[in-house]
A and B are shown apart, each in its own frame.
Chain A
Amino acid sequence: MENKQELKIIVEGCVKGKRKYQKKLFELFYGKMMGVCLRYAKNSDEAKDMVQNGFIKVFAKLNVYNFSGSLEGWIRRIMVNTAIDQIRKNKKDPFSIDDDARFKNLEEDIPFDTEEAQKEIKIKAEKAIKAIRELSPAYQTVFNLYVIEGYTHKEIAEYLNISEGTSKSNLAKAKQKLRTLLG
C-alpha cells in the first residue's frame, strides 16, 4: 500500500476533481472493492455495477473523509452501502425472503485470474466467494454483514429492515449451506 502522504495527495487531488488522481485511487482500491462487491452481487456484472456506483459515491464524498480512519475501511463501507442499496432497488423485500430457488441456477462465470504463482491461495478465496454468492440474497447479505463486516444482528436488523430473529436465522441457515458447499 502507498504511504500515508501519497494517499493524502491522491485524496486531495480527487477532491479537486482531478481525473488523474481519481484514476490512481481507483487503481489502488479496485481489486479489494471488487472482492467486496463480488460477495454481495449475484453475478460479476452486478458486482461491476456496484463497484462503479460505489466509486462515484466515493469521489463525491471524499471531501468529508478526514483521515481519521483507514481510507480502505472508509471506501469499503461506502461499497457495502452501495451494494445493499442496489440489492434493495433490484428486488422487493430481498432480505427477508429465503429464496432457495437460486441454488439450482448457479452461474459459473467468475472471472478470476489464476496466475500460477498465486493459484493456491486464490483458489481458497475464490471458492469461498463463489460459495457465498451461491447463497440466496437474504442469506448472502446477512452472512457478509455479520461474519465479514462484523455488524451485530441488531445493526443488521435495523439496516435491512428485518427482525433480529430473521437476521439470526438467516445467518444460521447461511452457515449451514456454506458448510455443505465448502465442506
Chain B
Amino acid sequence: MNKFEKNIKDAVESYEAPYSAEAWQSLNKAMGPSKATLLKWAASSAALLALVVFGYSYINNSNEVVTDKLIADTIQNKESKALILNVENSVYDTDGQLINENLSTTDSDLSLISEANTPIETTATDESNITESSTETKNNSEELTPKDESNATVVKEDKKENTNTTVSLKAKVIASSTTQCLSSEFNFTPSVPKQNAIYEWHLGDGTIITGSTINYTYDVAGHYSVELVLRDLNTKEIIKTSPPVEITVLEEPSTSFTYEMANTIEPSTYFTNTTPTASNVHWEIENLKSSNLENIEYSFKHKGRFTVKLTATNENGCSTTCSKTITIEQDYNLLAPTAFSPNGDNLNDYFMPKALPLIELPFTLTIYDRQGKLMYQTTDSSQPWDGINTQDGIPAENGIYVWVCQLTKENGETEVYQSQIVIAK
C-alpha cells in the first residue's frame, strides 16, 4: 500500500461521527417492543446472575432476589442447593449474628460458616466441599429459613412453579479451533465441566455425541453450528443450550497423480499431477528425488519397489498426500547385452552397451577379467570391444568378464554402471 492510500486509511479509520440521540430513537422504534419487557422476570434474574458470575458483590444489596432465585433452582439441582445454603447463611451473617448461635455445635458446622462467608463463585466451583456441607447442614438451613418471616419463605413458594429452567448451569462451547481442514479433528470442551448434567454435543451435521469433552472429524466440508445441550441427569430434560459456535470445515484437495513408464534409451517414468484444485504440489520419490514442479520425470536405474508421494495444497491451505508404489522390473544397464561371440562371423563380434552411442554423453568403459585384470578401455562409442586383451593382444577366452562404465551426465554428475558380459565363441 502506498503512502497516499495509507494516509486516507489512517484518516478515515480514526474517524468517529458525532453521536446522534435521534439515531437511537429511530433504531429503538424500529426494533419494536423489547424482548426484555416481555420476559422481564426471567431476564432480570438472568442478568443478575450474570453479574454474580462476574464477581459483582450484589449479594449483600439484593439478598432477596438472589436468594429467591437460587431457592427456585434447588428443585433442579443438588449443586445449587449447596449454593443456596451458603447464600442463606451469608444473608444471616449480614443481618445479624444468628449463624454463630445456630451452627456452632460441631466442627463441620464451623467449617460451613467459613464457607458461607466466602464469595459465591468460589463455593460454586469447589464441588467436594459443597456436597458435603449441603448434606450435613440441611437441617440447619431448614431451621434458619423460617426465621426470616418477612418474605423469603413466601417468595420461595411462589417461584417454585415459575422456574422451569436453571440458569445457574453454564453452557458454553470452547472449540479448539473454529476453522480447520476436513481431516483435522475438532476438539470441543465446555467452558464449565463437571456440572450435574448430561453434556450433549450437537455438531451441526446431524451428529449428536454425549460426553464431557469430545473430538470430532467432519465428513463433509462446510459451515456448522456446534451447540452444547445440558440435560437433567434424571429427567433427561434440556436444562440449557449454549449459544452456537460457528465452525468452518475447509475443503481439502483430493490429491492424485498418474505415471507412465517410457522405455526409451534411458527408462523414464513420467509423473503427472491430476489433483483438480491444487495450488501447490510437492513430490517425493523415496530418497531419490523431491520437487515442487507440477509434473516430474525420473529414471529409475535399479529394480525394486519405490514409493512416490505427492502432497497437494489447495487455496485453503489444506493439504493431502497421495502415495503409490512403483515396481521397476529391471536394473538399467545402458541396454548392454549380456554376451557376445568375437569369432569373426560378423554376428555379435563386438561389445558396446547400446545406449552409449545414442545418449552421446562422455563416458569411460572399462572391461576386466574375473581376476580384476584390465582387458580393454575406451571413451569412444564407435570403438567397441572386439574381445582382444589390449595388454598383450591375445583374444580373451570364453568366460565371464566384468564391465564398468562411468558416465558424465549433462548436469556434471557421474553415474556408474556395471555388469557382466559373457564371451561365448
Question: Residues on A close to B: CB < 8 A?
Answer: 5, 8-9, 12-13, 15-20, 22-23, 26-27, 30-32, 34-35, 38-39, 48, 51-52, 55-56, 59, 63-64, 66, 68, 112-113, 121-122, 124-129, 131-132, 147-148, 175, 178-179, 182
Contact = CB atoms under 8 A, between A and B. Distances in A.
B50 A9 contact: yes
9 contacts: A9-B51, A12-B47, A13-B47, A17-B36, A23-B24, A30-B23, A48-B26, A64-B243, A128-B8
A1 to B, nearest CB: 11
A126 B18 CA distance: 12
Interface string B1-24: 100110111011111111110011
Contacts of A124: 11
Interface string B43-74: 10011001100100000000000000000000
B15 A16 contact: no
Given A64-B244, A132-B8, A27 B19 contact: yes
A26 B27 CA distance: 9
Nearest to B22: A48
A31 B19 contact: yes
Contacts, number: 115
A143 to B, nearest CB: 9
Contacts of B243: 15, 63-64, 66
A31 B16 CA distance: 4
Contacts of B8: 128, 131-132, 147-148, 178, 182
B288 interface: no
B158 interface: no
B15 A125 contact: yes
Contact of A18 (B9, B12, B18, B34): B34
B171 to A, nearest CB: 12
A35 B31 contact: no
Given A31-B19, A52-B30, A125-B14, 18 more contacts: A5-B54, A12-B50, A13-B50, A17-B35, A18-B36, A30-B24, A31-B18, A34-B16, A35-B17, A39-B12, A48-B23, A64-B243, A64-B245, A122-B15, A129-B12, A129-B15, A147-B5, A178-B8
A51 to B, nearest CB: 7
Interface residues of B, number: 39
B11 to A, nearest CB: 4
B39 interface: yes
Nearest to B18: A113
5 cross-chain pairs, A with B, having the tightest CB-CB distances, nearest first:
A17-B35, A34-B17, A31-B16, A125-B15, A18-B36
Contacts of B51: 9
A101 to B, nearest CB: 24
B178 interface: yes
B127 interface: no
A148 B12 contact: yes
Nearest to A13: B47
A128 to B, nearest CB: 4
Nearest to B27: A52
B5 A17 contact: no
Contacts of A128: 7-8, 11-12
Contacts of A18: 34, 36, 43, 47
Nearest to A52: B27
B28 interface: yes
A128 B15 CA distance: 10
Contacts of A55: 27
B12 A35 contact: yes
Given A19-B34, A56-B30, A68 B12 contact: no
B246 interface: yes
A107 to B, nearest CB: 16
Nearest to B55: A5
B5 A26 contact: no
A114 to B, nearest CB: 10
A30 B54 contact: no
B24 A27 contact: yes
Contacts of A9: 50-51, 54
A15 B14 CA distance: 28
Interface string B174-200: 000010000000000000000000000
Nearest to B17: A34
A30 B17 contact: yes
A175 B1 CA distance: 11
B178 A68 contact: yes
A31 B36 contact: no
Contacts of B26: 48, 52
A135 B257 CA distance: 49
Nearest to B1: A147
A51 B23 contact: yes
Contacts of A32: 16-17
Interface in B362-412: none
Given A9-B51, A19-B34, A59-B31, A64 B17 contact: no
A58 B33 CA distance: 17
B31 A56 contact: yes
A66 B19 CA distance: 27
Nearest to A127: B11
